Structure 1
Amino acid sequence: MVGFGKTLREHGHLEWKQYYINYKMLKKKLKRYVQGQQSEGEEQMRKEFARLLDLQVEKIVLFLLEQEGYLASLFAALGKERDMARESGDPSTIAQCIKAYRAVGLELLQLLQFVEFNATGLRKILKKFDKRVAYRLTNYYVLTRANHPFSQLQQVFRHVGIEAMLGSLTRSLAELTEGEKSFYDDPTSVQIEDPVIHSIKGALERLTHSTRFLSFLSKHALIDEEDELLSLENEAIKQQYDYMALVLNLMNTFLYMVNTYIIVPSADKYAFSLGAAPTVCGIIIGSMAVAQLVSSVYLSAWSNTSYFRPLTFSSIVLLLGNVLYAVAYDCKSLSILIVGRLLCGLGSARAVNRRYITDWVPANKRLQASAAFVSASALGMAVGPALAGLFETNKRFLGLTINANTLPGLVMAGCWLIYLVWLWFGFKEPVRTEDGLKGSILGPSPSNENVDIDCLIQGLDEDSLHEPLLVSTVDVEDEEYGEEADQDSAEDLEDMDKPANSFCEALKLLTNPVKVQLGIYFMLKYAMEIILSESSVITSYYFGWATGTVAIFLALLGCTVLPVNFLVSTYISDVFEDRQILLASEVMTCIGIAISFVWPVRYTAAQYVIGSLITFVSAEVLEGVNLALLSKVMSPRLARGTYNNGLLSTEAGTLARVVADGTITLVGYYGMNMLLNLTLAPALLIGLVSLVATFFCYKGLY
């Protein structure tokens, strides 16, 4: 990864040098904190460094406002020339005016690059602080500064003045090139294909990134987002990016989630038809999660060398597992049924899907791909039970019984067969080099978002447009910048490209707040699994629900995932901090569990549905906020490699499912009348423990 100091030295502007963020000074302060963090208190260290950042932001913002005023005066003067040029109708005068507007547009682009560099420097120094000092600063700093009514930090990331000037530039060029067409009344008829405007828009998009909902969803995937501007490998990733390979990875995620939940409405009846107790459905459902604990590790390790082979292996194993699940009915064998589900768990390739997005989707598309990963999982969770509700038949075909018990296996086997053929012909394996880099770095992308300034100014008055760059001057201070840049680059490569080599090493990188959040993740997955896995048994025992009714109920629960996340990301998160939402949703999850208990009164379907809905929705909110926080506080060393943060969270959630499903089967031996209370009691206990742990670590959850 390119050092920030080197990037600034090569692309910054000499006369603006004093207004850039003083990255070198901040790094020296950070080194002092690292050496003395045992003796200095967290609060003192955080406030002192935040104060230094405040002074840097103030310097940047004041200069930015000054330059915006200067450019605004240029646009005002050009406005008069534009009107005179239009009135004269002289082509040469209009061409000269267009040239002048483009020249000012380049100055506007230079100012935007100034903002972009400083925003990058600010992000990098905060990330470096979080990585090297025991106390995290980023979220505290952003929350306390960005939401303040007199925030200067917002000026660095929100560019109302620049956007207004871009509007003036676009409208003026439209009037000069399109004549009488109205820019505002009919915007679709006015197409301005100017490289300067495209470059400014591209820079603005990189700074503002994307919608909050996509950002919120992407954090659920725990997929690391690299800094696009400073990534040497990103151009090679763009060259090898294959849309179909991404679609196949997302389809694998979707089908696996369908495969997981399609048996839930009928698992108890399948177990009973084979001579086992209905509560053995816990083992049937949980066996897939048991195998997933193992498969997540070896498939994640396999993805270090290939993606096609582990995806192929996953599809074949899932195909065989579903066939065994279906034929177990005619074989009258519970063992074959469980072996089939174990094979399905061994085919879990979610770690591979996540790694592909991290490693081979360009940075400017990674946010959308991460959100699509979460959406595919949520959709599969809803589609699985919905499909099960359609399997109301009982026939024989080629010696096989086709009914509600066997159809989930037969349908999923057919889906995986089709997917396997599609994967074989449609997946393109990325080319890896021997040194581990993602292909060759061939040069800059020809897209409009990365237009070279030197190319843009050809044909314009170059002497009047460009200031000399920092690379043109070599003085003592510049040499210090260069030396600092080399050190910065080496440190970044050493720290950020060294993933954990084992589970033990990964666990050592977990701070107390991260451990608490993984514990919360375990709790919410346990509660959700209890609600889902025993739903068919409980509703059949208390209310006499048929398989189709259970399927509709579970499908409706699954359909709440995306709307709830949308509500949290677009409305609730604007009013409350993430840690406040985390605490409130933990409380509501415990309340939902308490409502679901069978009290010494008549137990009604309304009570069960209300309690389950509150528990499930609260757990969804909790999952979204918990993973969003987890993505911020995890060590950067856990962003890559086999033992990454996604694997750790997957293992925590899968372990919770195993424990929950095992609890259902174990408690089932005490009688159906005790099943609900004895399975909900551990969920409530774990919820209360996580609530207490959250209180103790509340200050560290930024």
Structure 2
Amino acid sequence: MVNFGKKLMADQVDEWKGYYINYKLMKKMLKQYVQQTQHDEKDREQVLKDFSRFLDDQIERIVLFLLQQQGHLASRIEKLAEKRTALLEEYDISQVYQLHDAYREVGLDLIKLLRFVDVNATGIRKILKKFDKRFGYKFTDYYVTTRANHPYSQLQQVFKQVGIVAVVGALSRNLEYLQHHEGSFVSIYDRPAVTLKDPIIDQVNHAVQKLTHATNFMQFLGQHALIVQEDAESESEDLVGDQSYHFMSLVLNLVNTFLYMVNTYIIVPTADDYAVSLGAAATVCGIIIGSMAVAQVFSSVYFSAWSNKSYFKPLVFSSIMLFLGNLLYALAYDLNSLIVLLTGRLLCGLGSARAVNRRYISDCVPLKMRLQASAGFVSASALGMACGPALAGFLQIKFKIYSLSFNQSTLPGWVMCISWLIYLLWLWLTFKEPEHFTKTLVNEQPSESGRQGNSNLEAGLAEPLLQGIERRQDENSEVNDDTEVESESSHEPATSIASAYRLLTPSVKAQLLIYFMLKYAMEILLSESSVVTTYYFSWSTSAVAIFLAILGLTVLPVNAIVGSYVTNLFEDRQILLASEVMVLIGIIMSFCFTPHYSIPQYVLSAFITFVFAEVLEGVNLSLLSRVMSSRLSRGTYNGGLLSTEAGTLARVVADATITAAGYLGTDLLLNVTLLPSLVICIVSIAAALYTYNNLY
């Protein structure tokens, strides 16, 4: 892998070399500052001011050059526009085509300038992170607070490129105008942007999106999967070719994702009734629902490790465990055994192959299709979440075959049992193991006690869940020059949960806490919905199922609005903080303050909590991928696993809280379970504010 220092040198335009950030020099300065502070030659306050002034000078040189180049491009476009007007009046087709080529040359220069800005923005982010690592976490907070929010901010010129975007707009409009010179001259402002066909415009738009983090619905949806996309220019380096890609195997992975989410939520409307039928309290539904998450805490780890060597075998194992788990869940009614029921749910949790589903997309889907596959993963999860309760609402029938009972409590188990059996047969007949497993395992020879082989297996076969932003910006380490040689071990993937935890910065910890909070709040809302609505409103199982299904169906429309519009108007950190506040408002509104708890209050508060938790999840994972160490973007113990574990642990704690609160009485259940949500939400808001300027 190429480290950032070498990549910075390789990406530089020769005639612009004097205008790039001097990353190597600043690294040397940091080393000198460390030595000086250790020998009391300088105090930290003096170091902070000296380095701030030097970084100001670096940024000013970049910005002034950037403005100069923008002026050159704007002047060229203006001259071409004058020429275009004259040529179109004369209707000289040959000259119009030459003019089109001239515009495309401007487009290529614009792409070069956009990459210049991106390289420098990456260098600034990295040197800020490196300073924090060496001298303490507060430098980035200080620098961003004092520079980014100042009315004369030059830092904003690098990260928020209004001037360049204006040039992009002028170029795109003129190219579009030339493309349709034959007849009706329709403006780009009257047509959707997707109708622009020129490849230069596509490349320019991609560069702008990368620089400004602009998103569309597909990209925002894909962020929920924590599988961030690579650059378009990286496509030639993609190891997954079209010939080795197997579409049906991808479909099977997505179907596994869908069925697992259906399996998770199909029992929610009836779990309380099932518990009562077995002689337990209705609030034991929390343990019934949560036991699946308990097992998933462990299954996520071994499935993540297993997917280093195979995808087919873990998917087969997953299907068998889920088949057996649902069979036990269905039989528990006639066996009159809560233990059998809980054992069945635990087996279902042990069959959670979501880590495999994610990593299949990362490893085995070509780069040009990875965005759609990531969005498909999230869509399958969302549809499964909606279909689970909806399906439970249709299973309101009761009959017996021999000694087996089929009713609203057992039918979810029987339906999922049959579904997983069919899926297992489909998987066995049509799944194709990726070719790179076989090729690599055959060619890989052990050396030096197998250390190199293991490194290849981790770093080569199991490409990260966090592909893209961190791989581009934080590639495997810093420059190794004569003044500083870093050990190889400092760049290797984490080898355990403990070592992964030690790599977490305050910003990453804050994002994981926020993820824990939103999953906790959503699980409390969903898992106790049946008990709460039955107690306060006497809702039937079908009514609860419809309510939960409608909640689940809001996921895709909400993400469409946020991904296509909101994220392009506001920074992710602004959306993050606003969403947290709205979740807090939803939680406060959910409390029962009077003896007469109304349906409108419950439904409105539930929708606010659920919808803004969904919005929060997308921006949270987007920010998490940016602030997380590159060492957590590879191997078994990666950032995707950590976020999955945080979310799963939140569900476990939430479901346990429901069952524990049940001992205080159903009348207190709602307020008692909402109180931890309120506290965790307030703490997460404080954490977001504390790390706000480090999310820049």
TM bucket by the smaller chain?
Answer: 0.7 to 0.9
Residues 78-89 of structure 1 correspond to what in structure 2 (within 5 A)? 86=92
Asked whether the 8 Å contact 2:107–2:171 carries over to 1, the reply is no
1:200 and 1:526 map into 2 onto residues whose CA distance is 43
CA shift digits 1:98-121 (9 cap, x unpaired)? 774575356335414422531442
- Is the alpha carbon distance of 1:594 and 1:105 closer, same or farther for their aligned partners in structure 2, counting shifts above 3 Å? closer
Q: Name which of 121, 128, 132 aligns with 2:130.
A: 132
Unaligned runs of 5+ in 2: 38-42, 189-195, 445-455, 462-477
2:202 matches 1:198: no
2:312 matches 1:308: yes
Q: Give the partner amino acid of 2:293.
A: A
Residues 231-630 of structure 1 correspond to what in structure 2 (within 5 A)? 233-234=237-238, 236=240, 240-397=244-401, 399-430=403-434, 431-432=436-437, 433=440, 434=444, 435-436=456-457, 498-573=492-567, 577-599=571-593, 601-630=595-624
1:335 and 1:115 map into 2 onto residues whose CA distance is 65
2:187 and 2:655 map into 1 onto residues whose CA distance is 61
2:249 and 2:284 map into 1 onto residues whose CA distance is 38
1:603 and 1:174 map into 2 onto residues whose CA distance is 62
Cα deviation for residue 289 of structure 1 reads 0.4
Asked whether the 8 Å contact 1:112–1:200 carries over to 2, the reply is no
Q: Give the partner amino acid of 2:522.
A: M
Instruction: Please name the residue that 2:68 is paired with.
Output: 62
1:127 and 1:324 map into 2 onto residues whose CA distance is 53
2:270 and 2:654 map into 1 onto residues whose CA distance is 18
TM-score, normalised relative to structure 1:
0.79
Cα deviation for residue 344 of structure 1 reads 0.7
Asked whether the 8 Å contact 1:391–1:404 carries over to 2, the reply is yes
Asked whether the 8 Å contact 2:73–2:167 carries over to 1, the reply is no
Asked whether the 8 Å contact 2:140–2:694 carries over to 1, the reply is no
CA shift digits 1:347-380 (9 cap, x unpaired)? 1111122222333334444344333333322222
1:485 and 1:228 map into 2 onto residues whose CA distance is 25
Instruction: Please name the residue that 1:212 is paired with.
Output: 216
CA shift digits 1:391-435 (9 cap, x unpaired)? 111122465322211111122222223333333344333214235
- The size of the alignment, in residue pairs, is 637
Cα deviation for residue 11 of structure 1 reads 8.0
Q: Secondary structure at the match of 2:406?
A: strand
2:164 and 2:498 map into 1 onto residues whose CA distance is 42
CA shift digits 1:451-471 (9 cap, x unpaired)? xxxxxxxxxxxxxxxxxxxxx
Q: Name which of 655, 671, 680 aligns with 1:677.
A: 671
- Is the alpha carbon distance of 1:413 and 1:18 closer, same or farther for their aligned partners in structure 2, counting shifts above 3 Å? same
2:79 matches 1:73: yes
Cα deviation for residue 77 of structure 1 reads 4.7
2:350 and 2:664 map into 1 onto residues whose CA distance is 31
1:43 and 1:161 map into 2 onto residues whose CA distance is 36
1:307 and 1:400 map into 2 onto residues whose CA distance is 36
1:76 and 1:124 map into 2 onto residues whose CA distance is 37
Instruction: Please name the residue that 2:59 is paired with.
Output: 53
Asked whether the 8 Å contact 1:33–1:133 carries over to 2, the reply is yes
Instruction: Please name the residue that 1:476 is paired with.
Output: none
2:239 and 2:208 map into 1 onto residues whose CA distance is 19
- Is the alpha carbon distance of 1:380 and 1:149 closer, same or farther for their aligned partners in structure 2, counting shifts above 3 Å? farther
Q: Name which of 31, 36, 45 aligns with 2:33.
A: 36
2:522 and 2:185 map into 1 onto residues whose CA distance is 53
Instruction: Please name the residue that 1:480 is paired with.
Output: none
Cα deviation for residue 323 of structure 1 reads 1.7
1:652 and 1:509 map into 2 onto residues whose CA distance is 16
Instruction: Please name the residue that 1:477 is paired with.
Output: none
2:109 matches 1:108: no
1:654 and 1:698 map into 2 onto residues whose CA distance is 25
Cα deviation for residue 236 of structure 1 reads 4.2
2:486 and 2:563 map into 1 onto residues whose CA distance is 32
